[in-house]
Chain A
Amino acid sequence: MLLSLSHGKIQEDALKQIHTWFNAPEISTQHQSWIIPEGVALSISKNVGKPFVRKNLDIWQIKSKNNPLAYVVMDNAMGKVQPITYLAAFNLQGQITHIKVLKYRESYGGQIQQSRWLKTFIGRNSKSGWKVGQDIDGISGATISVVAITHALQRLALCTPHFKGAFHETP
């Protein structure tokens, strides 16, 4: 499918980005298209106030010498017309360590791709403050995208304990 994240160039771009974040020789990655359990999706959506955009998450478990090190998630946030695809890395404590917008499809705007803005999410976890304008700086003229990315990352942060478990079951 044209907008699918499950294959094609976007997967290559994601992997390339993952290898710049985790580039030691002993690093290995394992990919899973993880279906968000319905109950989990429902309770997290309720908590955040906005539902997940996709029914599954593309997750890479990052291992160093066979020990889990991090989880990297590729997901979409919904822009005004087009989805925004981003990649976020979480450490084992569930904190965001890296974030990058992989594909911004809209013809206008694009301010949210700035790393100086995305940096504000680093170190956040499920218990952090996620209020736009208060905990997260807004960007003038990009409110819809700012709120969409913030909600999306908060949902992922709340999701970390669940997808970590999924990798333990499938060694």
Chain B
Amino acid sequence: MHFKSSNPNPLPLKALAQIFAMSVAIAVHANEDGPKTQLGGYGELHLNYVRPDTGHSESPVLDFHRFVLFFGHSFNDQWSLKAELELEHNVVEISGSQNDSVFELKKSGYLPLEQAILSYKHNDYLSVGAGVVLVPAGMLNTDHEPPLFLTVERPLYHNRIIPTTWFGNGIIVSGNALEGALRYQGVLTEGLNSSKISAKEGLRSARQKGLYASTASVLAGMRLDYDVLLGLTLGASYHQDQLMDNISGTRPYNRISLVELHTRYAAHGLRFTGEWAYVGYDALQNTSGLLKSGGGWYSELGYNVGHPLNWNAQVIPFFHLSQINPSSQVHGGGSAEQANEVFLWKVGLSVLPIHQVALKADYGITSKGDPSKDDYEFNLGVGYQF
């Protein structure tokens, strides 16, 4: 029998070999200037012990608070992607019924896509990005890897005043001037769901996190940072959440504005961070209990004792001081204006054997006015970034 080839012109082996050789050459050439996809991440394991004001203490809790995978892809000199997927508290379990207690729901973890920005860089002065963007408010919302702050847990200020990590769907414009000494960002994103603003936690629960985000309100913001000296950065931002329509009729606020100042000094072994913010609320009605304003500040001072001794490791004892009140002015006034005021201090030690690893311990007291109601806490942590 004679088989007739179904393909009268089969690709000769030689041509295949050539194509293979070419593709290898292309791959090598593409790789010439380093990998095009970058993998990174950070994470932190905590041990938290809190003796609350009730005096009833529980066993310390072990919590792998965050495990974050970062990946960046460089398409070419102009186009790039930056994304972060985060798993908080080890496990995300979706189970049970609506009758589950709040306690059980709280034990479930959290799996957000914290950022995914496709960026186009026109030049140093102008880049435009779209996707899941980080709201550029405060020192830690955009950069919050464990070696960047000294306490085991992120400052309470970054929970109740600036709801770190604050992210949403939208667009971002950024750039720098004066050889990078002046940096700016502007954002336009989904707004806050103001029906979820609380007197105790401020904007925290109002973040939509990009989950089928409603545009009933939009958030616009801008930020400036300037390096006054080498090691000394001053920055400020202004964000405004504006109600566009209230079809559902559930939104209690027309406008929310956040103004915030931040500074960091890091040189000669010294590390100082200070932040201050004011949040103003413009309620649609003078309903008692609705917020008028809130705010707070913290400062953190540490000194690397390894610096004068020329150690490889950084060993930084530190002191952290903060005052926070997310609802300092409330419609109707009265004791509600002091109910969520918190004053806290922490002392601790942060050790960085290498730049990307932090071992931390701290002890602190949170007071709410009445000394008999103080919370005591002790925390240990290990964290990394790469």
Interface residues of A (CB under 8 A from B): 1-6, 53-56, 76, 78, 80-83, 103-117, 131-134, 137-141, 143, 147
Contact = CB atoms under 8 A, between A and B. Distances in A.
Top 4 A-B pairs, shortest CB-CB distance: A81-B72, A110-B180, A107-B127, A2-B76
Contacts of B266: 138, 140
B373 interface: no
8 contacts: A4-B29, A54-B32, A56-B32, A81-B81, A82-B72, A114-B180, A116-B230, A137-B231
A107 B80 contact: yes
Interface in B71-85: 72-74, 76-77, 80-82
Nearest to A5: B33
Contacts of B119: 107
Contacts of B76: 2-3
Contact of A1 (B30, B142, B233): B30
Contacts of A134: 307, 310
B176 A110 contact: yes
SS of A interface (majority): loop
Contacts of B63: none
Interface stretch (B34-42, B43-51, B152-160): B34-42
A121 B138 CA distance: 31
Nearest to A76: B33
Contacts of A141: 143, 148, 233, 264
B181 A114 contact: yes
A2 B79 CA distance: 11
A143 B358 CA distance: 14
Contacts, number: 126
B183 A107 contact: no
Contacts of A81: 38, 72-74, 80-82
Given A114-B179, A133-B314, A141-B233, A107 B33 contact: no
Given A53-B34, A54-B34, A131 B80 contact: no
A137 B179 contact: no
B174 interface: yes
Q: How large is the interface on B (under 10, 10 to 19, 20 to 34, 35 or more residues)?
A: 35 or more
Nearest to A141: B143
Contacts of B143: 141
Given A82-B74, A107-B127, A107-B174, A131 B312 contact: yes
Contacts of B129: 107
B245 interface: no
B89 interface: no
Given A139-B231, A140-B266, A104 B33 contact: no
B227 interface: yes
A166 B288 CA distance: 80
B355 interface: yes
Contacts of A3: 30, 32-33, 36, 74, 76-77
Contacts of A55: 32
B304 interface: yes
Contacts of B33: 1, 3-5, 53-54, 76, 83
A118 to B, nearest CB: 9
Given A105-B77, A108-B183, A140-B265, 12 more contacts: A4-B32, A78-B38, A81-B81, A82-B74, A104-B180, A105-B74, A107-B117, A110-B176, A113-B124, A114-B230, A132-B355, A137-B230
Given A140-B233, A147-B355, A133 B304 contact: yes
A6 B33 CA distance: 10
A76 B34 contact: yes
B92 interface: no
B71 to A, nearest CB: 9
Given A54-B32, A55-B32, A107-B121, A140 B307 contact: no
Interface in B252-269: 264-267
A140 B180 contact: no
A110 B82 contact: no
Contacts of B80: 81-82, 105-107
A116 B180 CA distance: 11
B226 to A, nearest CB: 11
A116 B229 CA distance: 9
A76 B32 CA distance: 10
A37 B5 CA distance: 50
A114 B232 CA distance: 13
A132 B183 CA distance: 23
Contacts of B181: 111, 114
A56 B34 CA distance: 11
Interface in B327-379: 355
Contacts of B179: 113-115
Interface string B132-151: 00000000001100011000
A115 B38 CA distance: 27
A104 B82 CA distance: 16
A141 B266 CA distance: 10
